Amino acid sequence: MTSRGRPQSIGAYLIERLCAHGVRHVFGIPGDYVLGFFDLLLESEIRIINTCDEQGAGFAADAYARVRGLGAVCITYCVGGLKVANTTAEAFAEKSPVVVISGAPGMKEREKNPLLHHKVREFDTQKKVFEQLTVASTVLADPQIAFQEIDRVLHAALRYKRPVYIELPRDVVALPGIPHHRAAELHERSSPEALRAALAEAVAMINEARKPVILADVEVHRFGLQDELLRLARKTNMPVAATILGKSVIGEQHPFYLGVYEGAMGREDVRQYVESSDCVIMLGAFMTDINLGIYTARLDPARSIYATSEKLSIRYHSYDEVSFTDFVRGLLRARLRRRALGAIPRPRPKAGAGSGRKDGRAATFAPVAKRPVTVLRLFERLNAFLDEDTVVVADVGDSLFGAADLFIHQRTEFLGAAYYASMGFAVPAAIGAQLADPKLRPLVLVGDGAFQMTGMELSTAVRYRLNPIVVVLNNAGYGTERQIHDGPYNDLLVWRYHRVPELLGAGRGFAVETEDQLDRALQDARAHTESFCLLDVRLDAHDRSPALQRLAARLAERL
């Protein structure tokens, strides 16, 4: 019931439950099937963020969920919904809890199966698509159970850290729902016997090991276990490496942090240390091709503990009914041997990384006047630029692989689509990340190909007074594909990216060709906080980071 004694509508209940879970922004595009729900949002605590395109809304909601814990995108039927299918697939693949809310034709309109606008085949076609891309889905067609369905689906998003789908027929938005007893959303309970047996085997394996190491990945962040990871490392002095997808799950300044493990793609000293360990404790790790350096990783199951939200195995033993959270917290309570840390590989921040100077000047980076910028020197300078108020948002390609060696000061300060790898993620994701945590200023690393897909979402940044710093790696084409297998299809029309602010009537643009221009542009961008800044960094078409060279060479072997 509402505070005035009237039955609560289905649309209002959905908004109430989103608010209860911390959602304060919904990203989307209006359409006639969803306008009634948009009107309800206007009257609520939730702010509507209109993006330029539905795909931009989906990426923004994904990043919002990664930073804040739950995100939401709201679009109209099929023409809007199917445009967020790709972003929802990414959220599913990389475990990001996004609520997809789609307006739809009213239930009465569907009688006799008319050919209504936006319909594809049948009225449930879109629902069937999203059943493949989400962990739970519903059509709120029955007011008797609509409240229950909303709670069921939202619980699934939070339990599994994956997207869900809610279809909202336009003639049910204002209908009253039936209150129900909402069960407390309890933590998933493990089988006590299975948990004890798993912890006993894991503790014995760790304590007997000469050189145990923790490999931490993205689920540690998704399930809010960063503090537990940090305490576990401090308690035992076990070194910690991260995957590229899990980069920043732990601050890189800690003395027990090794760096990013990527098989043969990554630093050789990190690879050798992890692969020579007699006990690799993989926490929340995705065994993806990119995380594993296109399967160049050599991780022996006989020397591994592999714990995720879906699986727990110790050596060759599998344990059912043991939750990831219970297992990690159980390790923290267990009698694990503390050992001397010893000599371990450490990240080697270059050019003053970690100095955190607010003026943007590098402590040791010395730009050479009129020397053309290279990918290597670009990332050296960016390392010097980062401070504790920066969130790095990296798109696919060298934007991601070059960023693997950036020195991230705090946890959750690095976002990248390092598994599903959909181009166009970074610019709209920066919008979602900054709205989720306004204390952070996004540094967006994006290739020119990805920018041409979604870069005009900078218009959204202007509208909502956001101030990302966007670095476009402009090599006039698809650099990763050039390295794998080149052809004219990898070339792009070269835009004058630095003139985008003129089009939008806001922001500052910089054309960057030399190191001294790069240095000055970053200093000016740091100082310009009232709107976005865009650095058009012009690179040689065949220049790329060492990490991308190794990756592309590996991929080329498969052709």
Domain boundaries for CATH 3.40.50.970 within the chain: 10-169, 375-553
More confident residue, 22 or 119: 22
How far is residue 423's CA from residue 414's CA, in Å, rounded to a whole number?
A: 17
Q: What per-residue confidence (pLDDT) applies to 351? A: 45
Q: How confident is the model at residue 6 (pLDDT cuts 50, 70, 90)?
A: confident
In 10 A of CB 14, how many CB atoms?
Answer: 29
How far is residue 293's CA from residue 313's CA, in Å, rounded to a whole number?
A: 22
More confident residue, 111 or 24: 24
**Is pLDDT above 50 for 523?**
yes
How far is residue 320's CA from residue 270's CA, in Å, rounded to a whole number?
A: 32
Assess contact for 214 and 237: CB atoms under 8 A: no
Percent of the chain's residues with pLDDT above 90: 69
Select from 408, 377, 133 the least CA-distant residue to 244: 408
Q: Give tens-digit pLDDT for 474-507.
A: 998 888 778 778 889 888 999 999 999 999 999 9
Q: What per-residue confidence (pLDDT) applies to 356? A: 42
Q: How confident is the model at residue 352 (pLDDT cuts 50, 70, 90)?
A: very low
Q: Give tens-digit pLDDT for 186-240.
A: 557 899 999 999 999 999 999 999 999 999 998 999 999 999 999 999 999 999 9
Whole-number Cα distances in Å, 498 to 504, 506, 512, 516: 12, 12, 9, 17
Q: Give tens-digit pLDDT for 420-443.
A: 889 999 999 999 999 999 999 999
Whole-number Cα distances in Å, 194 to 200, 205, 220, 358: 10, 17, 21, 51
Kindly report the backbone phi and psi dihedral angles of residue 442, in degrees, each rounded to the nearest multiple of 5, phi listed first. -75, 135
Kindly report the backbone phi and psi dihedral angles of residue 75, in degrees, each rounded to the nearest multiple of 5, phi listed first. -140, 175
User: What's the mean pLDDT in 514-518?
Assistant: 97
How does DSSP classify residue 9? B
Give the class (CATH, top level) of 10-169.
alpha beta
Structure tokens at 217: 């990945």
Q: What per-residue confidence (pLDDT) applies to 544? A: 85
Q: Give tens-digit pLDDT for 123-155.
A: 899 999 999 999 999 999 999 999 999 999 999
Select from 217, 224, 305 the least CA-distant residue to 261: 217
Tabulate helix, strand, coil % of the chain (nearest 5). Answer: 40, 15, 45
For residue 48, the SS3 value is strand
Whole-number Cα distances in Å, 163 to 61, 128, 182: 10, 15, 21
Q: Is 3.40.50.1220 the CATH classification of the domain at 192-333?
A: yes
- Which helix H or strand E contains 282, and what residues bound it? strand 279-283
End-to-end, the C-alpha distance of the chain in Å comes to 62
Q: Which residues pair with 14 in a beta bridge?
A: none
Domain boundaries for CATH 3.40.50.1220 within the chain: 192-333
Q: What per-residue confidence (pLDDT) applies to 365? A: 80
Whole-number Cα distances in Å, 240 to 237, 250, 251, 401, 484: 9, 9, 10, 20, 32
Strands 304-307 and 25-28: unpaired
Concatenated DSSP letters for 344-410?
-------TTTT---TT---SS--PPTTPBP-HHHHHHHHHHH--TTEEEEE-STHHHHGGGGS---S
Q: Which are the contacts of 111, defined by CB distance < 8 A and separation ≥ 6?
A: none
Q: What per-residue confidence (pLDDT) applies to 482? A: 81
Q: What per-residue confidence (pLDDT) applies to 94? A: 94
How far is residue 148's CA from residue 138's CA, in Å, rounded to a whole number?
A: 11
How far is residue 455's CA from residue 501's CA, in Å, rounded to a whole number?
A: 12
Structure tokens at 539: 């690179």
Q: Give tens-digit pLDDT for 53-76.
A: 999 999 999 999 999 999 999 999
Angle at 350 between CA 346 and CA 352, to 5 degrees: 115
Q: How confident is the model at residue 41 (pLDDT cuts 50, 70, 90)?
A: very high
Place of tokens 């240390």: 273
How far is residue 206's CA from residue 232's CA, in Å, rounded to a whole number?
A: 12
- Sheet of 533-538: strands edge to edge? 414-416, 390-394, 441-447, 469-474, 533-538, 508-512
Q: Give tens-digit pLDDT for 299-338.
A: 888 999 999 998 999 999 999 999 999 999 999 999 999 9
Strands 212-216 and 279-283: parallel
Assess contact for 119 and 104: CB atoms under 8 A: no
Output the average pLDDT for the chain.
Answer: 89
CATH number assigned to the domain with residue range 375-553, chosen from the 4 options 3.40.50.970, 3.30.230.80, 3.90.1150.10, 3.60.20.10: 3.40.50.970
